[in-house]
Amino acid sequence: MVPFEQCLSSNTGSNIISAPDRRVLFVTSEISDYVQTGGLGEVSAALPRALRGLCDVRVLIPGYRQVLEKHGPIPVVGRLEGLGEIPSCHLGRVTTPDGLDVYVLLCAELYDRPGGPYSDADGVDWPDNDIRFARLSLAAADIAMGRGETNWTPHNLHLNDWPSALASGYLAWRGSNVPTLLTIHNLAYQGAFDPQRLNALGIPGSAFSINGVEFYGKLSFLKAGVYYSSHLTSVSSTYAREITSAEFGCGMHGLLTERSREGRLSGILNGIDETWDPRHSDEAAAFDAARWKDRHADYVRGAFGLALSRGPLFAIVSRLVHQKSVDLALEVAESIVQQGGQLVVTGKGEPHFEDHMRDLARRYRGFVGVRIGFDGQEARTMFAGSDFLLMPSRFEPCGLSQMYAQKFGSLPIAHKTGGLADTIEDGRTGFLFGAPTAGGLKSAVRRAFDTFGSGHRFSEMRRAAMSMSFDWKESASRYTELYARAS
């Protein structure tokens, strides 16, 4: 079999739809226009916008309370039937101020509730998440098959992570050949449920097998997407390779290796928008990076109650969870302070990590500042004000923070994995270390201190980092090629 990627430049024949006329439904459980919990929300806002002009792309999202509150009454354009215990619902359509068309699933019993996309205000998963995201997946499949009275039928479905992955299964079980592309943003989140829920979700019993939705005795939405989708992408080239290994494959490495051999697994790096270039909002001719950084550093120190200092300012902008190696950062924090550095932290996550961070700030008052929670504007200021960003993640499919940091002149210190390995040039735009251990991180931090003390070398690395390009153009073009080749 010819590898999928090698086919992209071959003669496609006259039956291929011209790019601007290709209709793509981008299906996601979160989008930063309304609600997000992580990078998926930011990608879901940026990538469809980058695709405009290359194809006719529209977004499908659940009608969360945040969406309803932002738009008020949403015009109804269709009705979608239920299946099993999945209720019927109406389909609404809105347009964002910059012209992005968004379909909204109007089903108050499933989505109009307080809290986040996946859990309540206390962080407890909604008990009906299987129904909630089966409804999203089923809606995507229905729209792809011309149901729902939308007067717009996509040529391709672009699915994202487990909440929409079941759509490829619904199409397969109905005998539809509408091509589906599933992007795996984080393989660790798989949407696993009790197999007794098959009938409730309208899944045929025959699909509960190794060649279907079964995954170690569970019903896995993500496994369905990996098995039934026409093509798979991950969010960096390195992560695409890593997930075919036992170490990073989360139990699906065998199937993912098979898909890779078939040429049906690609790594396409995420991007960031131009607002992360500080010259986007400043006069380029008058922009002075050093003065700009100093101004923001002073603000960050004041906001976090830190003492005035000429030492380096380190930042952590992250979910406080095991994947992000928060435990390693905690071990290294004391060393940072002892060497004359300061640390600011923002994020939320596992309660014990939150408690450890609070304790760290109490012990090193004036040198460590911690905010439990997340505010996008504050995080942006931290990237702008810090000299270094700690990002020692045990695995990182892509990561966006290291891109933001580099564009804002903060040199990332990161574990050499996934998208971190693909976007940081060790010793030029940041610092990479091998094994995710406290020793490895401490060694990289020591290199950062040495560079900061060298003056010229530090300024040189900062300029190199700020000159990095992470825009969406190339990635959007590659997705467009995959849509066409999957048809």
For 237-251, write each residue's pLDDT tens digit: 999 999 999 999 999
Same domain, yes or no, for 174 and 303?
no
Q: What is the model's pLDDT at position 2?
A: 33
Query: 148-157, 188-197, 215-224, 419-428: lowest mean pLDDT where?
Result: 148-157
Same domain, yes or no, for 258 and 301?
no
Same domain, yes or no, for 240 and 325?
no
Selection from 10-14, 19-23, 111-115 with the highest mean pLDDT = 111-115
Tell me the average pLDDT across 306-331.
Answer: 96
Q: What is the model's pLDDT at position 472?
A: 94
Amino acid at the residue 242: E
Same domain, yes or no, for 107 and 230?
yes
Radius of gyration of the chain measured on its C-alpha atoms: 23
The answer on pLDDT for 4 being more than 50 is: no
Q: How many CB atoms lie within 10 A of CB 89?
A: 25
CA–CA distance, 135 with 144 (Å, rounded to integer): 14
CA–CA distance, 174 with 185 (Å, rounded to integer): 27
The per-residue pLDDT for range 77-134, each reduced to its tens digit, is 999 999 999 999 999 999 999 999 999 999 999 999 999 999 998 889 999 999 999 9
Q: What is the model's pLDDT at position 16?
A: 58
Percent of the chain with pLDDT over 90: 88
Same domain, yes or no, for 43 and 70?
yes
Same domain, yes or no, for 293 and 341?
yes
- Domain interval for residue 278: 274-466
Looking at every residue in the chain, the average pLDDT score rounds to: 93
Same domain, yes or no, for 261 and 280?
no
CA–CA distance, 414 with 434 (Å, rounded to integer): 9
Q: What is the model's pLDDT at position 18?
A: 72
Task: Find all residues with CB under 8 Å of 47, minimum gap 6, and list them.
Answer: 26, 270, 271, 472, 475, 476, 479
Same domain, yes or no, for 434 and 450?
yes
Q: What is the model's pLDDT at position 156?
A: 98
Overall domain count for the chain: 2
The pTM of the whole model exceeds 0.85: yes
Residue pair 133/162 in contact (Cβ under 8 Å)? The answer is yes
Same domain, yes or no, for 37 and 134?
yes
Tell me the average pLDDT across 342-369.
Answer: 96
Q: How confident is the model at residue 281 (pLDDT cuts 50, 70, 90)?
A: low
Q: Indicate which CATH number applies to the domain containing 16.
A: 3.40.50.2000
Q: Is 61 left (phi over 0), alpha (psi -120 to 50) or beta?
A: beta
The answer on pLDDT for 5 being more than 70 is: no
Same domain, yes or no, for 230 and 297?
no
Q: How confident is the model at residue 278 (pLDDT cuts 50, 70, 90)?
A: confident
Q: How confident is the model at residue 376 (pLDDT cuts 50, 70, 90)?
A: confident
Helices and strands (H, E) in the chain, number of each type? 17, 18
Q: What is the model's pLDDT at position 150?
A: 80
Residue pair 25/154 in contact (Cβ under 8 Å)? The answer is yes
Residue pair 465/355 in contact (Cβ under 8 Å)? The answer is no
Q: What is the model's pLDDT at position 386?
A: 98
Same domain, yes or no, for 26 and 104?
yes
The answer on pLDDT for 347 being more than 80 is: yes
CA–CA distance, 448 with 127 (Å, rounded to integer): 46
Residue pair 213/207 in contact (Cβ under 8 Å)? The answer is yes
